[in-house]
């Protein structure tokens, strides 16, 4: 358990997505452990992609090769499968991946206005990353948080309802580090690592918004 926490801390300590590279030695051990959970090796493919994304912020070429070798498929099959899922990124992303929901509930609540405001504030269009590699903006389908419409995610953590003012504040907080304990580096999912709650990092109230960690404190 202690060891797990160390690994998690290491993942959480990553400031920005990396430019490339394969699994760390620890990550490789985890990948192998993950594979052992499944009767058919290739079933571990998606969890392993998340693991890789947790380490690097995106699915690096080196990790694709390593995953392919581990589960016994070709690299083209790994990248092909990963490309099916919006949550898996095959290209380097910014430090914060902002996913604005534009599905029906959010749309009715002003998602497009929000998206426009976000685009203007960040100076990039949906699907782009700014040149400092700080933000990647994407449009998302229903995030399952319609009660907080219009909503968005930052590195898979939920914020909503949002408008242009609260988004400005969100950006400022992200920049000042005020949300350090709430928004983890991109790719770090507690789904991969069900051991550890973000609340141990301190920000108790903010963590309540983190549905992926709900009930794990």
Partner 1 sequence: MTDTVHTQNQAEEEERDNTVNIVIDGVAIKANEGELLIEAAERNGIFIPRFCYHPHMEPVGMCRMCLVEVSGPRGFALQPACYLKVQENMEVMASSDKAKRAQEGVLELLLINHPLDCPVCDKGGECPLQDQTMSYGPGESRFIEEKRHFDKPIELGPLTYLDRERCIQCARCTRFAAEVAGEPQIDFAGRGDMTMVATSPTRPFDSYFSGNTVQICPVGALTAKAYRFKSRPWDLEQAETTCTLCSVGCREVAQSSAGELVRYLGVDNLTLNQSWLCDKGRYSFEAVKNGRVLTPLARHEGVLEEVRWADALADITAGIRAGLAKGGGDQIAVLGGAKFTNEDNYMWARLAKGVFGSELVDAQLGDGFNAELALALPRAGIEETVNARTVVLIAGDLKEELPVLYLRLYQNLAKGKTKLIEISPTHTSLSDLAKIKLSPRPGELFSITEDIFDVTKNSVGSLKDESVISSIRQFLDVREETSADDGEGIVFVVGNANLAEAPIYLEESLKLIAAKLPKAKFLPALRRGNIFGALDMGLGPNLLPGRINKDRGDFFRRTWGTLPASPGIGTPEILAKCAAGEVSVLVLLGADPLSDFVDQALVQKAFENTPFIISLASHMDPSATSADVVLPVPYMGETAGTVTNLEGRVSVLGQKVTPPALARQPWLIAADIARLLEEDFGLYTLEEVSQEIADTVSLYRGVSLASLKRFGGDGVFVPVKAAKVKIASSTKSIFDPIAVPGIASVEEQGAPIKTGSAKPIALQDGNTKDSSAEALAKGDARLISLADVTSATRHAGGLDVIAEPKSDKYSLRLILQRDLYDAGSTLVNCPTLASLGGVQEILLAPSAASGFGLQNGSPVNVTGRGQMIEAQVKIDKSLSPGLAVLKVNKSKANDIFSADVSDGIASGRAELLVDASALVTDIRLETKHDKKKELG
Place of tokens 């070709």: 74
**Token pair for residue 41?**
């090796």
Nearest distance from C-beta of residue 142 to ligand FES, angstroms: 3
Cβ 112 vs Cβ 102: under 8 Å:
yes
Nearest distance from C-beta of residue 92 to partner 1, angstroms: 12
Q: Which residues are bridge partners to 98 per DSSP?
A: 137, 154
Nearest distance from C-beta of residue 85 to partner 1, angstroms: 8
- Select from 12, 16, 46, 65 the one that contacts partner 1 (CB under 8 A): 65
Q: Work out whether strand 157-159 and strand 135-140 pair parallel, antiparallel, or are unpaired.
A: unpaired
* Nearer to partner 1 among residue 64 and residue 183 (C-beta): 64
* Nearer to ligand FES among residue 72 and residue 144 (C-beta): 144
- Select from 68, 82, 114, 151 the one that contacts ligand FES (CB under 6 A): 151
Nearest distance from C-beta of residue 19 to partner 1, angstroms: 14
Nearest distance from C-beta of residue 42 to partner 1, angstroms: 12
- Per-residue string for binding with partner 1, 84-113, x by CB under 8 A? x-----x-----------------------
Phi, psi of 139 (to 5 degrees): -90, 140
- Exposure string (b/e) for 59-90, b if CB count within 10 Å is 16 or more? bbeebbebbbebbebeeebbbebbeeeebbbe
In this structure, is the dihedral angle defined by the CA atoms of residues 133, 134, 138 and 140, taken in order, positive or negative? positive
- Select from 68, 93, 124, 206 the one that contacts partner 1 (CB under 8 A): 68
Q: Given 3-state DSSP classes, what are the helix, strand and coil percentages for the chain, each rounded to the nearest 5?
A: 45, 10, 45
The residues that touch partner 1, with contacts defined as CB under 8 A, are 61, 64-65, 68, 73-81, 83-84, 90
The residues that touch ligand FES, with contacts defined as CB under 6 A, are 101, 103-106, 142-146, 149, 151
């Amino acid at each position: 358990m202690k060891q797990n926490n160390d690994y998690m801390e290491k993942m959480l300590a990553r400031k920005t997505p990396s430019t490339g590279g394969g699994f760390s030695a620890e990550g490789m051990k985890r990948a192998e452990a993950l594979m052992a959970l499944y009767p058919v090796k290739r079933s571990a493919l998606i969890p392993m992609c998340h693991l890789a994304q947790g380490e690097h912020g995106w699915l690096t070429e080196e990790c694709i090769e390593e995953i392919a070798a581990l589960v016994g498929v070709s690299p083209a099959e790994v990248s092909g499968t990963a490309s099916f899922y919006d949550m898996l990124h095959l290209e380097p992303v910014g430090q914060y991946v902002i996913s604005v929901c534009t599905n029906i509930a959010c749309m009715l609540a002003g998602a497009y206005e929000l998206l426009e405001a976000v685009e203007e504030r960040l100076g990039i269009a949906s699907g782009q990353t700014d040149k400092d590699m700080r933000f990647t903006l994407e449009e998302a389908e229903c995030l399952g948080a319609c009660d907080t419409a219009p909503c968005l995610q930052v590195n898979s953590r939920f914020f909503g309802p949002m408008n242009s003012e609260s988004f400005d504040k969100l950006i400022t907080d992200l920049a000042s580090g005020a949300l350090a304990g709430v928004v983890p580096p991109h790719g770090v999912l507690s789904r991969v690592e069900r051991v550890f709650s973000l609340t141990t990092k301190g920000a108790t109230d903010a963590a309540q918004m983190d549905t992926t960690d709900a009930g794990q404190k």
